[in-house]
């Protein structure tokens, strides 16, 4: 993964996306690859699987050993993962409010300039 945008930003988006679906219904690798593709992101299994494993090591996801080796490993959110997702949702909403409205941003800057005079 050498694209700096991916490293710096998209990785975080994907992790939030994974937590979101893991909370809804549990996810497994192939499903998540398809879901991310539906959103326009083509990840390789070599990117996604280590990501899932890392999130499990952090305690945000848990998975059980599949009964048969050909069964998919399903990841579900943990209580710690739910807390993280809750915090991230609040941060996202706050950021979205600021970043997605360039008009109000311009207006605020103008107001600030006027106030500084």
Q: Which is nearer to Zn ion, 25 or 98 (CB)?
A: 25
Q: Are 60 and 78 in contact (CB under 8 A)?
A: yes
Find the residue with minimal CB distance to Zn ion.
Answer: 35
| Burial per residue of 26-47, b for 16 or more beta-carbon CB atoms within 10 angstroms, e otherwise | bbebeebbeebeeeebebeeeb
Site string for Zn ion, 25-64 (x = CB under 5 A): ----------x-----------------------------
Question: How many angstroms separate the most distant Cα atoms in the chain?
Answer: 71
Q: Which is nearer to Zn ion, 16 or 56 (CB)?
A: 16
Q: Which is nearer to Zn ion, 23 or 35 (CB)?
A: 35
Q: Which is nearer to Zn ion, 34 or 83 (CB)?
A: 34
Minimum gap (Å) between residue 35 Cβ and Zn ion:
5
Beta bridge partners of 62: 76
Q: Which pair of structure tokens corresponds to residue 78? A: 């943990």
Residues that bind Zn ion (CB under 5 A): 35
């Amino acid at each position: 993964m050498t694209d700096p945008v991916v490293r710096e930003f998209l990785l975080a988006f994907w992790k939030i996306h994974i937590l979101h679906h893991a909370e809804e219904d549990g996810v497994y690798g192939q499903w998540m690859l398809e879901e991310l593709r539906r959103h326009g992101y083509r990840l390789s299994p070599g990117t996604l699987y280590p990501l899932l494993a890392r999130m499990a090591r952090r305690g945000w996801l848990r998975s059980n050993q599949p009964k048969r080796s050909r069964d998919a490993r399903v990841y579900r959110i943990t209580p710690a993962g739910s807390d993280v997702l809750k915090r991230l949702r609040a941060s996202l909403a706050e950021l979205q409010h600021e970043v997605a409205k360039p008009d109000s941003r311009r207006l605020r800057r103008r107001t600030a300039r006027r106030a500084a005079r």
